[in-house]
């Protein structure tokens, strides 16, 4: 496996597989790889000739008071994990390599980037779109892999792919969870053991929302059910708990599929999660992701 830091070298290494029409799968990450990331890597490995993993903590997607500096970084461990999964190439550029001095172009995420996560983290999705657009331009992957855990990010990126005519297929892989339901996230490493217990409230809230929808209640009732679970958990502060239509993130259609989305701070750590529920589908009576 090769670790490449320069954009020019990345392009030259990828020339041969591209000339041979070998498919290239890209897994964009910010490192601190966990089983969630590795599930994306495995999916990419199953379906592509060449697998590229990018590791880049993207400053553009962090607000001024957010955790860019303290975001977990362990490149050595990430490289070992990527190698063990059969990755061909790790692209781990510096900030200057990705954003040369004088950089002024930003890819806007549009209306979808201003609600929910976008409302709480202004500019976040513009930062995501900008770095993902750059990665798509550099790697020119046939397929790119993202996790369902960041469901709004996926929606914003799919929109960008359509709007900017990228020739990449976006594959979304299911959220990987701990046994008690907590979605894997690099930020879970910030949690003390007490906070880790409290963090279960996010999944319990989603499950309460799911039960509410499955018994025929509307989105508003599900939102109250989710908020009630979080309110009962000391040390967990709700940002939002919403039931939305899964594509547009608007109000859900009556009897249509619902996406439950939640964001809450556990101590200083902000966590997000989501769950798809389809009231028309018997299987939605169980956890689906």
Residue 33 binds ligand PAF (CB under 6 A): no
In the residue annotation, 253 being an active-site residue is answered as no
Q: How far apart are CA 219 and CA 238, in angstroms?
A: 17
For the range 110-114, what are the long-range contacts, defined as Cβ-Cβ under 8 Å and sequence gap of 24 or more?
Answer: 110/156, 110/159, 110/163, 112/152, 112/155, 112/156, 112/159, 112/249, 113/156
Over the window 92 to 111, marking each residue x when it contacts ligand PAF by CB under 6 A and - when it does not, the resulting string is --------------------
Q: Which of 63, 80, 85 shows the shortest CA–CA distance to 145?
A: 85
Stretch that binds ligand PAF, among 10-18, 25-33, 160-168, 270-278 (CB under 6 A): 25-33
**Spatial distance between the Cα atoms of 289 and 287, rounded to a whole number of angstroms:** 6
Q: Which of 25, 28, 36, 279 binds ligand PAF (CB under 6 A)?
A: 28
Interface with ligand PAF, residue 30, by CB under 6 A:
yes
- Please check whether residue 54 is in contact with residue 27, taking contact to mean a CB–CB distance below 8 angstroms: yes
Active-site choice (37, 124, 253, 276):
37
Collect all residues with Cβ–Cβ distance below 8 Å to 264 and sequence separation of at least 6. Answer: 201, 202, 205, 230, 236, 237, 238, 239, 241, 270, 271
Of 48, 58, 175, 269, the one binding ligand PAF (CB under 6 A) is: 58
Residue in 14, 29, 93, 252 binding ligand PAF, rule: CB under 6 A: 29
Least Å distance between CB 55 and ligand PAF? 9
209 part of the interface to ligand PAF, by CB under 6 A: no
CA 252: distance to chain centroid? Answer: 22
The minimum distance between CB 127 and ligand PAF, in angstroms, equals 8
Output the smallest distance, CB 121 to ligand PAF, in A.
11
Total of residues contacting ligand PAF (CB under 6 A): 10
In the complex with ligand PAF, the residue whose CB is nearer, 89 or 229, is 89
Q: Which two tokens stand for residue 198?
A: 């409290």
Cα–Cα separations (whole angstroms), residue 107 to 10, 60, 65, 155? 22, 11, 22, 15
The closest of 186, 224, 180 to 198, measured between CA atoms, is 180
If the CB atoms of residues 130 and 284 are measured against ligand PAF, the closer one turns out to be 130
Q: Does 132 bind ligand PAF (CB under 6 A)?
A: yes
In the range 153-192, which residues lie near ligand PAF by CB under 6 A?
153
Interaction between residue 150 and ligand PAF (CB under 6 A): yes
- Report whether 202 contacts 209 (CB < 8 A): no
CB of 148 to ligand PAF, least distance (A): 11
- Which residues on adjacent β-strands are paired with residue 77? none
| Cα dihedral 270→276→282→286 (10° resolution) | -20
CB-nearer residue toward ligand PAF: 125 or 209? 125
Binding stretches for ligand PAF (CB under 6 A) = 28-30, 58, 61, 128, 131-132, 150, 153
Active site residues: 37
């Amino acid at each position: 496996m090769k670790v490449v830091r320069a954009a020019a070298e990345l392009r030259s290494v990828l020339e041969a597989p591209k000339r041979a029409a070998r498919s290239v799968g890209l897994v964009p990450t910010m490192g601190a790889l966990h089983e969630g990331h590795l599930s994306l890597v495995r999916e990419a490995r199953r379906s592509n000739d060449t697998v590229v993993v990018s590791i880049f903590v993207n400053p553009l997607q962090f607000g001024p008071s957010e955790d860019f500096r303290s975001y977990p970084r362990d490149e050595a461990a990430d490289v070992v994990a990527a190698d063990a999964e059969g990755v061909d190439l790790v692209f781990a550029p510096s900030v200057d390599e990705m954003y040369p001095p004088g950089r002024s172009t930003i890819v806007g995420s549009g209306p979808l980037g201003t609600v929910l996560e976008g409302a709480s983290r202004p500019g976040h999705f513009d930062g995501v779109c900008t770095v993902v657009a750059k990665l798509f331009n550099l790697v020119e992957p046939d397929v790119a892999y993202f996790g369902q855990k960041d469901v709004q990010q996926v929606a914003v990126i799919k929109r960008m792919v359509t709007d900017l005519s990228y020739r990449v297929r976006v594959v979304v892989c299911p959220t990987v969870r701990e046994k008690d339901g907590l979605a894997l996230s690099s930020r879970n490493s910030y949690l003390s053991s007490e906070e880790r217990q409290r963090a279960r409230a996010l999944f319990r809230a989603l499950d309460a929302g799911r039960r509410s929808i499955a018994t025929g209640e509307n989105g508003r009732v599900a939102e109250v059910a989710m908020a009630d679970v979080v309110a009962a958990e000391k040390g967990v502060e709700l940002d939002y708990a919403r039931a939305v239509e899964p594509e547009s993130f608007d109000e859900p259609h009556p009897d249509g599929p619902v996406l439950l989305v939640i964001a809450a701070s556990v101590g200083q750590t902000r966590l997000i999660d989501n769950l798809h529920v389809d009231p028309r589908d018997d299987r939605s009576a169980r956890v689906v992701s």
